[in-house]
Amino acid sequence: MPAISASACAKLILLGEHAVVYGEPALAVPFSGLRARAAVEAWIGAPSGRIHIFARDLDLDQEWSLLPENNLVRNALTLVLTELGIERLPTCKLNLTTEIPISSGLGASAALAVALMRAFSAFLGHPLDSERLNALAFESETLIHGRPSGIDNTVVVYEQPILFSKASGFEVIRSTDDFHLLVADSGVKKATALTVSQLAQDYSENPENIGAIIREIGSLTQAGVRALRMGDQPALGDALNRNQELLTLLNLSCPELDTLISAARQAGALGAKLTGGGKGGHMLALTAPDQLERVRNALLKAGARSVYHTVLKQEAANA
């Protein structure tokens, strides 16, 4: 029997990270060029009920029952088995890889869980539809991050640009122009759970100021959605820049990100900000096509570990 394979994309939050945890809207787009992949195959001849995990990027080469409590792979498999009501474990080998850097603001944990649950449920003969997959991916994110908004799993499962809020769920956003983004790695790893809990602490100590900043971020997200719909590149750039100022006030940036963000702006980016959990990880820069080379070089010169180019396509957004 051939292996059953599945994949899931990385994601970029254009506007609204962290504020989305407090009920504000946020705008996220799929980053389809970077993916996590899972393959599951029957393990002929092995004792029944054995599931072997091989995940080079996560440093795993072991029996799933020996995985530590609250391990992402263990959680994802358990969630699928419980959802499908399967008590007898299948005997199989599972291979998991990711091109998405971990703890870097690109949604790696959601993508790994989604790829794994897609492949495993299909292997079990009951592929999960998007709605059920999204609900399970949210549970997986909750086990890993504690208090996720749900934006990461949603954009990763549906692989469309979305406006998301905890109260209203998601709406697919159609843009009327191609928006080019450069995405650069600051080289600093930071777990999202840490930045989310740091902000929660600050919020409880200073609810008025932090609350006002969070609400302004919500308005910027709405401005960004209008800009995408109207194909207004400068307006989106302005929203990104202001969002970065507010994230800095929330103490969510760091010197390495600041250096990359100002290098991108000086080289001609229309707007630049951190993306995801912050305090490290990746930044993004909205850049006109004729400035891409210049901004990419400036980012590399300013210390970016890697620079990716992705396009939020008019056609894709209209799909």
Beta-sheet pairing, 169-172 with 162-165? antiparallel
Reference 31, options 79, 100, 102; nearest CA is 100
Active site residue 177: no
Query: Scanning residues 140 to 169, which ones bind ligand PMV (CB under 6 A)?
Result: 148-149, 151-152
Number of residues that bind ligand PMV (CB under 6 A): 16
Q: Is 244 in the site for ligand PMV (CB under 6 A)?
A: no
Site for ligand PMV in 84-113 (CB under 6 A): 105-107
**Per CB under 6 A, 30 contacts ligand PMV:** no
Residue closer to ligand PMV (CB basis): 185 or 232 = 185
| Torsion angle of the four alpha carbons 272, 276, 281, 287, in this order, in degrees rounded to the nearest 10 | -20
- The helix or strand, by DSSP H or E, that contains position 262, with its residue range, turns out to be helix 255-266
Minimum gap (Å) between residue 177 Cβ and ligand PMV: 26
Catalytic residue among 57, 59, 129, 152: 152
Q: Counting Cβ atoms within 10 Å, is residue 305 exposed (0-12), middle (13-18) or buried (19+)?
A: middle
Query: Strands, DSSP E only, in 102-237?
Result: 162-165, 169-172, 179-185
Applying CB under 6 A, does 280 fall inside the site for ligand PMV?
no
Least distance to ligand PMV from the beta carbon of 26, Å? Answer: 7
Contact call for residue 253 and ligand PMV (CB under 6 A): no
119 close to 38: Cβ distance less than 8 angstroms: yes
* 3-state DSSP assignment of residue 62: strand
List the one residue out of 194, 68, 85 whose CA is nearest residue 132.
Answer: 85
20 vs 317, beta carbon nearer ligand PMV? 20
**243 lines the binding site for ligand PMV (CB under 6 A):** no
Q: Which residue number, 14 or 20, has a Cβ lying nearer to ligand PMV?
A: 20
> Which residue numbers are catalytic?
152
Give the residues lining the site for ligand PMV (CB under 6 A). Answer: 13, 17-18, 20-21, 105-107, 148-149, 151-152, 192, 196, 276-277
